Amino acid sequence: MCGIAGYLGKRKASPILLDAVRRLEYRGYDSVGIATLHEQRLSVRKAVGNVEEVDKKLHFAEMPGNVGIAHTRWATTGKVTDENAHPHLSNNGKIAVVHNGIIENYQELKGFLQKNGYTLKSQTDTEVIPNLIEHHMKRKSLKQAFLETLRQLEGTFSIVALDEGSGTILGARHNSPLVLGLARDGTYIASDVSPFIEATKKAVLLEDDEAVILDNKLEILNFRTGKPVRKKIFLMHWNYEQAKKGDYEHFMMKEIDEQGSTIKKAVQQDAKLMKKAVSMVKKAFGVFLVGCGTSYHACVSASYVFSHIAKKHVNVVLASEFENHREFLTNKTLLIALSQSGETADVLEAVRIAKDKGVKIIAITNVVSSTLTQLADETIMMNCGPEICVLSTKSYTAQLAILTALVYGLAGKLEAGKKLVLQAAAKVPDIIRDSTPKIKALASKIKDSRSIFLIGRDMAYPSALEGALKIKEVSYIHAEGFAGGELKHGTIALIEDNVPVIVLATEHTKKEILANAMEVKARGGYIIGINSRQDDVYDYFIEVPEAGMANPILMIIPIQILAYYLAIERNLDPDKPRNLAKSVTVK
Ligand code: M6R
């Protein structure tokens, strides 16, 4: 879950790499480091902190040289220390390596290296890599030593290495993303396309077990077989403007605001593709929906539409638990995998398990170049542009939009489904404009709460789960979402005077959910109603128009805004919550 990058070309490498780690920072911000090569000498600067903090101390852009590699870390193996920050050097100081992923057999490899006289200075798994390359270079060329090293590694990895002797950049991937950018000024290599979208639209998407040797020419080969691989050039459509904050203070608010248009874009899919997806669902005997975090909540939400509109049973499973369902998979099963990034390790693992059993895969993702798109039989793109904030906001409503349309398609009413979603999308700007002042005031009132609870019934239940995730991950206030009827089976014991309880009510559920709200109010709870109509039980009311099956798309918006302002009230950075990373590429 780190961001890695490399550059070799005509320009000074360090400012390019500094910009690259800024753009990749959403993947982790525990520590940062850059290595460049100048006059045949490698130099490394690295330290704990986010990019801005570390750059203030180390002045990365001063580092000379036209070739270099860079890293921004989300710690997995080894604590957050300067020593554990990447790049890591081989014992002779001639090979520098940055790595994203986990080397599962690193203890064994470390033992091997120690027996051969190597000293490992950090607690990371990564440090074995430059040392193995150094070791193999005693008998082999750089290229062969690199390939030999890659074959020894078990786990998940994308790697970029830099050799002092030749100035060569070496890269490889196995279950972790890595892409190349072919620009006029030079060649870029990175965890995603963001570091080079201004320099070039031409990308090469590496696949698992592919390695890159980059010096005055570019060679791509399969590191297991050692055979060259011919790759297509992929033309990217994203532009850098979409990945900039513009006039916004934070990406989170920008991305919340964009939803009026992103929901529309998500639902306007190619008709043929939607028909194909509908027919795959129809033909399937057993349909699974998998995802993690917010994407999982979109699966739960969609399962209600499957039930109400298409009368179709679907199995919703957390991607990390999917392997326990292995026995139910056949070549007639369909797996619908949701992932904004398309790189979430648990989702990819679920897809691989399914593929082994002959299961067909539909991916719903936002990243064209992602691994998920490479594994799926059909991919429906969310089309919502880069989501930079660690919190999923616009990708959630895009997922709901696509799945709602798909289910209506299954019931033979694709156009009606699209219309419903488009009507909901049209209401988003008004909801944001009208509710924001009230929500700001609410955030200031409840900012010191120890806990916030959310309840909803039917389709508002997954909205309560998602709302709780939004609030807790960005404000660090404990938040839990429940089905309306469930709170009184235990958690109501936590309700005392002024504990905020957000009640998500719809026309269809209002009778019962308002009764649940009364139960909470009777115990002192402070009731915040999100509903199309005011009610006496509410202490605070935020209006959201009724949208039928599209209710979840609208209901989540005020909670996203509340989560944002809770973070602001508590002086937290909404774009980079502690301990999190945007793309969770480890299991
Ligand atoms: O990229 P994915 O959709 O696969 O990511 C899944 C989760 O990691 C993600 O939704 C996470 O829960 C977010 N922090 C939620 O805001």
pLDDT (tens digit, 9 = 90+) per residue, 108-149?
999 999 999 999 999 999 999 999 999 999 999 999 999 999
- Position 473 scores a pLDDT of 97
pLDDT tens string 17-62: 999 999 999 888 999 999 999 999 999 999 999 999 999 999 999 9
Query: Which of 176, 256, 295, 390 is the best mutation target for the ligand 1 pocket, counting ligand atoms within 8 Å of the beta carbon and taking the most?
Result: 295
- Are the C-beta atoms of residues 446 and 452 closer than 8 Å to each other? yes
- Position 582 scores a pLDDT of 80
What fold characterizes domain 3-236?
A: Glutamine Phosphoribosylpyrophosphate, subunit 1, domain 1 (3.60.20)
- Position 124 scores a pLDDT of 97
Q: Compute, in angstroms, the gap from residue 217 CA to the centroid of ligand 1.
A: 38
Residue nearest atom 9 of ligand 1, based on CA coordinates: 293
Distances (CA, A) of 537 to 369, 423, 460, 510, 515: 49, 29, 18, 12, 9
Q: Compute, in angstroms, the gap from residue 317 CA to the centroid of ligand 1.
A: 15
Please report, rounded to a whole number, the percentage of residues in the chain having pLDDT higher than 90: 91
| Whether residue 76 has pLDDT greater than 70 | yes
Residue nearest atom 8 of ligand 1, based on CA coordinates: 293
Q: Compute, in angstroms, the gap from residue 300 CA to the centroid of ligand 1.
A: 14
Residue 581: pLDDT band (50, 70, 90) is confident
Ligand 1 binding site (Cβ under 6 Å of any ligand atom): 292-295, 339-341, 344, 347, 390-392, 469, 473, 580, 583-584
Residue nearest atom 16 of ligand 1, based on CA coordinates: 391
The two beta strands, 287-291 and 334-339, are: parallel
Q: Give the closest residue to 34 by CA, choosing from 212, 26, 12, 263.
A: 12
Name the residues annotated as catalytic.
Answer: 2, 582
| Whether residue 199 has pLDDT greater than 70 | yes
Q: Compute, in angstroms, the gap from residue 392 CA to the centroid of ligand 1.
A: 6
Residue 238: pLDDT band (50, 70, 90) is low
State the burial class of residue 283 (Cβ atoms within 10 Å of its Cβ: 0-12, 13-18, 19+): exposed
pLDDT tens string 344-358: 999 999 999 999 999
- Position 1 scores a pLDDT of 75
| 393 CA closest ligand 1 atom index | 16
Q: Give the closest residue to 28 by CA, choosing from 69, 70, 75, 78.
A: 75
Cα distance between residue 154 and residue 552, in whole Å: 42
Residue nearest atom 4 of ligand 1, based on CA coordinates: 339
- Position 237 scores a pLDDT of 73
- CATH tag, 251-569: 3.40.50.10490
Task: Find the DSSP H helices in 447-580.
Answer: 460-475, 510-521, 551-569
Report the half-sphere exposure of 243 (CA within 13 A, side-chain side).
Answer: 20
Residue nearest atom 12 of ligand 1, based on CA coordinates: 293
Report the half-sphere exposure of 94 (CA within 13 A, side-chain side).
Answer: 14
Q: Compute, in angstroms, the gap from residue 370 CA to the centroid of ligand 1.
A: 15
Report residue 190: phi and psi, to 5°.
-165, 165
Cα distance between residue 52 and residue 63, in whole Å: 16
Q: Compute, in angstroms, the gap from residue 391 CA to the centroid of ligand 1.
A: 7
- Position 463 scores a pLDDT of 98
| Whether residue 559 has pLDDT greater than 90 | yes
- Are the C-beta atoms of residues 86 and 129 closer than 8 Å to each other? no
**What stretch(es) of the chain map to CATH 3.40.50.10490?**
251-569
Cα distance between residue 587 and residue 585, in whole Å: 7
Mean predicted confidence (pLDDT) in 411-420: 97
Query: Which of 322, 348, 392, 399 is the best mutation target for the ligand 1 pocket, counting ligand atoms within 8 Å of the beta carbon and taking the most?
Result: 392
| 293 CA closest ligand 1 atom index | 12
Q: Compute, in angstroms, the gap from residue 127 CA to the centroid of ligand 1.
A: 29
Residue 241: pLDDT band (50, 70, 90) is low
| Whether residue 240 has pLDDT greater than 80 | no
| 577 CA closest ligand 1 atom index | 14
What strands, in cross-sheet order, belong to the sheet with 210-214? Answer: 88-89, 95-103, 155-163, 169-174, 210-214, 218-222
| 319 CA closest ligand 1 atom index | 4
Mean predicted confidence (pLDDT) in 221-240: 89
Cα distance between residue 338 and residue 366, in whole Å: 9
Q: Compute, in angstroms, the gap from residue 290 CA to the centroid of ligand 1.
A: 12
- Position 271 scores a pLDDT of 94
> What is the DSSP annotation of 438-457?
HHHHHHHHHTT-SEEEEEE-
Mean predicted confidence (pLDDT) in 245-268: 95
- Position 275 scores a pLDDT of 96
Cα distance between residue 491 and residue 453, in whole Å: 9
- Position 583 scores a pLDDT of 78
| Whether residue 265 has pLDDT greater than 70 | yes
> What is the DSSP annotation of 241-299?
GGGS-TT-S-HHHHHHHTHHHHHHHHH---HHHHHHHHHHHHH-SSEEEEESHHHHHHH
pLDDT tens string 141-198: 999 999 999 999 999 899 999 999 999 999 999 988 899 999 999 999 999 888 998 8
Cα distance between residue 304 and residue 461, in whole Å: 10
Query: Which of 255, 297, 341, 367 is the best mutation target for the ligand 1 pocket, counting ligand atoms within 8 Å of the beta carbon and taking the most?
Result: 341
- CA 533 to chain CA centroid, Å, is 35
Residue 221: pLDDT band (50, 70, 90) is very high
Cα distance between residue 330 and residue 340, in whole Å: 26
DSSP 353: H
What strands, in cross-sheet order, belong to the sheet with 179-182? Answer: 41-48, 31-38, 67-73, 3-9, 186-190, 179-182, 202-205, 234-235
Residues, the chain, total? Answer: 587
- Position 320 scores a pLDDT of 97
- Position 585 scores a pLDDT of 77
- Are the C-beta atoms of residues 406 and 274 closer than 8 Å to each other? yes
Q: Give the closest residue to 111 by CA, choosing from 152, 73, 150.
A: 152
**What stretch(es) of the chain map to CATH 3.60.20.10?**
3-236
pLDDT tens string 271-325: 999 999 999 999 999 999 999 999 999 999 999 999 999 999 999 999 999 999 9
- Position 227 scores a pLDDT of 97
Query: Which of 338, 344, 364, 389 is the best mutation target for the ligand 1 pocket, counting ligand atoms within 8 Å of the beta carbon and taking the most?
Result: 344
215 SS3 class: coil
Distances (CA, A) of 188 to 10, 62, 156, 167, 572: 12, 20, 21, 14, 33
Residue nearest atom 11 of ligand 1, based on CA coordinates: 293
